[in-house]
Structure 1
């Protein structure tokens, strides 16, 4: 007997719903920043960075970054950077250190502008103070607070200790003592003086700090150097030394001698070999270098005149004749009668000294005892 199985018919499939087709969106377009417009992004450390193209002092176009804690802060900095670029302001590009530029400035700028004595002064100040203070810093990263702090440090730190002056003095004294070992003592031999403070044992500090006048001079010198870096060499965009204001302490003014004091002084040194030198300085107001640089060819005792057109200077340890301080310092001066008499007596005394075999006639009015030039007239 055959069993028929009931087979349920398959359920009819539900008709598939037509897929909703989304309208094709337009491809996203990214805005490209024009050169110089800049952009801002947040860095992984949380800070914001803005970047824009700027022009360097050597004419190159480079991208520069500015940073800040907020988007608004960076946007403000970036806007200022872009405005400076549009106005023609350039960004410093030099990688020189301050020491390298100071050396360059001495040879390329100062040497051709100033007298030898002024150049020697600049070189000494730069070597002793400016290079030790700021030499290792990049010229473009030198900030006003660096200069202010460095100059303040000079007035707080003993320079004997900082520069090892006493140690060098003691070393020189030790060499002299060794030379005298085994020799009989001379009657008028000078005592060998070595260290007087920092290099003593136990150590005694003399507190030899830099004076206010030297600090002001250093500030003026640095300001002149940085100004050339801005205007002449176009390495910097601003002179940061101009932003510094130093405390100008009271400086007592020099008080000139009265006529009575000057007369009393000249009476006291009447028998001195160089009494005429002091008389010239007091009567005519000549600088020491101008008086010591006078030659007899500059003195006209018949017409009571003295022409000042040169001066004696010490440069790098040697005495040299050079120009007077300014163009206005070259002058023709009338000589009073008492001074003419003093100069005649001085010339007669010098003529007697010329009779000696050791006399070296340099033609100087005020010379050493053998006729050579001298910074002290002795």
Structure 2
């Protein structure tokens, strides 16, 4: 009451909004969809609908307290339903949405700004040694997607960059690969990396380049065999037997299956990038 009286005296009083947080988050998401990448928007939508709204959506936006937000974080952490990195993403979304509510004079101040951001506990990076690499690659040679793993280990390219690689991005004469298109976790192709630094040219060794070029003859045979079904609208270097893009989730399943069969230490696909860096 004292704060409200003081605000009225200063001419900055904000009428408390009775809008439910769930209702406000619908419009917040719509606005975000105009300014972020499709994959980022899909991520925001998931966190809002699966975590934030079920926990806080029933509250009037002007009645959300720092204690409400902190208790939500505590519940998520104790349940183990999300990693510390994803819990931090929840905070980022809540803080950003309530900042907008404050700018729009729906609340006097942002309660999330009074809550300490959840601490991110970084996982220890796992890498393969040279024996692990040799064992895995020897075993994976019979896999259709052997080239994907070889490219990752010899260039340090990310999964999305490899799956988005096109034939026109390969410079055979100068032995380079250009990163200009990526694939997100939903299998969507996006021109341009997340940052300008992501668009780059990468040197590739002769063995890896030759392995990539061998795919051309395989694809010609598959086109002949599967012509009625074959689709190649994106000029992709890595594709399925009917010419369609390879979904990242399917690649993950293949990768982990090969790891299990070969008996090497289990690591994430992204750790192939760290493995490459550790060998340089």
* Structure 1 and Structure 2 fold alike (TM over 0.5): yes
Q: Which has the larger radius of gyration?
A: 1
Instruction: Tell me the alpha carbon deviations over residues 266-306 of structure 1, each in whole angstroms, 9 at most, x when there is no partner.
Output: 22212222111111112222221221111112112222121
The CA distance in 2 between the partners of 1:249 and 1:94, in whole Å, is 33
Secondary structure of residue in 2 paired with 1:113 = coil
Please point out which of 188, 199, 212 is paired with 1:320.
188
Shift of 1:313: 2.6
Q: Please, which runs of 5 or more residues in structure 2 have no aligned partner?
A: 255-280
Shift of 1:242: 1.8
Please point out which of 205, 219, 224 is paired with 1:355.
224
Q: Residue in 1 aligned with 2:44?
A: 122
Instruction: Tell me the alpha carbon deviations over residues 232-270 of structure 1, each in whole angstroms, 9 at most, x when there is no partner.
Output: x33233221121125537433213333443344222212
Shift of 1:354: 2.1
The structure whose residues are more often helix, as a share, is 2
The structure whose residues are more often strand, as a share, is 1
The CA distance in 2 between the partners of 1:271 and 1:345, in whole Å, is 14
Give the root-mean-square deviation of aligned CA atoms: 2.4
Instruction: Tell me the alpha carbon deviations over residues 186-242 of structure 1, each in whole angstroms, 9 at most, x when there is no partner.
Output: xxxxxxxxxxxxxxxxxxxxxx744433322211211111122223x3323322112
Q: Does 1:258 align with 2:159?
A: no
Q: Residue in 2 aligned with 1:132?
A: 54
Secondary structure of residue in 2 paired with 1:311 = strand
Provide the TM-score with structure 1 as the length reference: 0.59
Shift of 1:143: 0.4
Q: Does 1:339 align with 2:261?
A: no
Q: Please, which runs of 5 or more residues in structure 1 have no aligned partner?
A: 1-65, 67-76, 158-207
Q: Residue in 2 aligned with 1:281?
A: 152
- Kept in 2, the 8 Å contact 1:289–1:313? The answer is yes
- Kept in 1, the 8 Å contact 2:91–2:118? The answer is no
- Kept in 2, the 8 Å contact 1:92–1:140? The answer is no
The CA distance in 1 between the partners of 2:183 and 2:91, in whole Å, is 28
Q: Residue in 2 aligned with 1:370?
A: 242
The CA distance in 2 between the partners of 1:258 and 1:89, in whole Å, is 63
Shift of 1:83: 4.7
Query: Which runs of structure 1 show a deviation greater than 6 angstroms over 4 or more consecutive aligned residues?
Result: none
Number of residues paired by the alignment? 246
The CA distance in 1 between the partners of 2:218 and 2:11, in whole Å, is 70
User: Are residues 267 and 137 of structure 1, via their aligned partners in 2, closer, same or farther at CA, if it must alter by over 3 Å?
Assistant: same
Secondary structure of residue in 2 paired with 1:302 = coil
Q: Residue in 2 aligned with 1:39?
A: none
Q: Does 1:106 align with 2:29?
A: yes
User: Are residues 285 and 234 of structure 1, via their aligned partners in 2, closer, same or farther at CA, if it must alter by over 3 Å?
Assistant: farther
User: Are residues 306 and 234 of structure 1, via their aligned partners in 2, closer, same or farther at CA, if it must alter by over 3 Å?
Assistant: farther
Higher relative CO (CA 8 A, sep ≥ 6), structure 1 or 2?
2
User: Are residues 249 and 297 of structure 1, via their aligned partners in 2, closer, same or farther at CA, if it must alter by over 3 Å?
Assistant: closer
